[in-house]
Amino acid sequence: MKVLASAPGRVNLIGDHTDYTGGLVFPMAIDRSVRIEFDRGVPWVELLSDVEPDAAFLPLEAIDEVEPRLVRPAWARYVAGVMWVLRPEHGGTGFITSTVPVGAGLSSSAALEVAVALALGFEGEPVELARACQQAEHVASGVPCGIMDQLTAAAAVDGCALRIDCRSLTVEPVPLAADLDVLVVHSGQTRSLTASPYGVRRAQCEDAEVLIGPLRDATVADAEGIEHDDLRRRARHVITENQRVDDFASALRQGDTTAAGALMVESHTSLRDDFQVSTRRIDELVDHLCGLPGVYGARLTGAGFGGCVVVLAAAGTDTGLDAWRVRPAGPATVENLPT
Ligand code: GLA
């Protein structure tokens, strides 16, 4: 049987480094996706990609013996991760086409995982799909990521950004007005989370939680009481960022783009100074973009340590920089193709 599985990338408008503490995030799926034409049946998975020179080849029977993290070529680790988690009954051969830039912070790996899972026949609720693919990411990359990226790809709503509560895993769509543009500007600094201090940041949040309890329930005053400088900063970022997500959602609902933009800038400052995941190049880009006519706000998006800046602007704004103009897209899908 032939299928076409497709999963979108995502950009996070606000709410970074909050998902793995059960916090609030506000991403949207974008109109760039990973698509897989997949012919199901054979007892192995063989995938070619238009963006990678080497094919992924993984026999189903070998999945118990392989460590997904060591599979080659490196991109096939995500395929192996999904197979490792799902233990599919059949494999297949297929071709991947992707319009999600790799290493930019637009969740190309989550889109790949979700598309592979659907191609392999995953059936279940979006939250289950996201959980399985989050686990696949953990075993494939060793990075203890949260659930935001996979859940955005699985549960997106066309035309909307999503307020996701990463504790209850509820997804609330918030329409994005047509007179707004979301632009994504690459810093030119590609990054791999495997080589970044992402895991250290997550561990610091856990250490802060030992001191003041779940960050989701803690107050800024609780954070201020932490003696250890790094832990105090990490906690303060997460607590204030959760509040900013709710304030941002309200601002968008009320059409208050000035307030929404200001919250993005506050989020950036917090990521820069308290969570310490920005770079000088990204700080300069954010400053520059925020000074342009038509721009309401800009901030680092995703994990940081390089990657992209997301910009909220009046429709038609030209930043003079290379930028992807992205629209909020719908969820991952799978459909049968004629054989
Ligand atoms: C990466 C992770 C997400 C999230 C962001 C930061 O994209 O995959 O789970 O933690 O970083 O908000």
pLDDT in tens, 125-151: 999 999 999 999 999 999 999 999 999
Among the atoms of ligand 1, which is closest to the Cα of residue 137? 8
Q: Which atom of ligand 1 is nearest to the CA of 12?
A: 12
The domain that holds 256 is classified in CATH as 3.30.70.890
Residues in contact with ligand 1 by the CB-under-6-Å rule are: 16-17, 19-20, 145-146, 148-149, 302-303
Q: How confident is the model at residue 312 (pLDDT cuts 50, 70, 90)?
A: very high
Instruction: Indicate if 157 and 202 belong to the same structural domain.
Output: no
Note whether 13 and 126 are same-domain residues.
yes
149 is catalytic: yes
Rounded distance, CA 125 to CA 172, Å? 16
Say if residue 20 is in the same domain as residue 147.
yes
Q: What would the pLDDT profile of 74-114 be if each residue is shown by its tens digit?
A: 999 999 999 999 999 999 999 999 999 987 889 999 999 99
**Residue 136 structure tokens:** 């696949």
Quick: pLDDT tens for 17-60: 999 999 999 999 999 999 999 999 999 999 999 999 999 999 99
Do residues 306 and 190 touch, judged by C-beta distance below 8 A?
yes
How many percent of the chain have pLDDT more than 70? 99
CA 90 to ligand 1 center in whole angstroms: 31
Q: Please tell me the distance from the alpha carbon of residue 272 to that of residue 190, in angstroms, as a whole number.
A: 18
CATH at 60: 3.30.230.10
Say whether both 7 and 80 belong to one domain. yes
Angle, alpha carbons 111-117-121 (nearest 5°): 145
Pocket test for ligand 1, best of 10, 11, 16 (most atoms within 8 A of CB): 16
Q: Between 108-119 and 126-141, two packed helices, what is the crossing angle to 10 degrees? A: 120
- Out of 16, 19, 31, 149, which one is annotated catalytic? 149
Quote the number of domains for the chain.
2
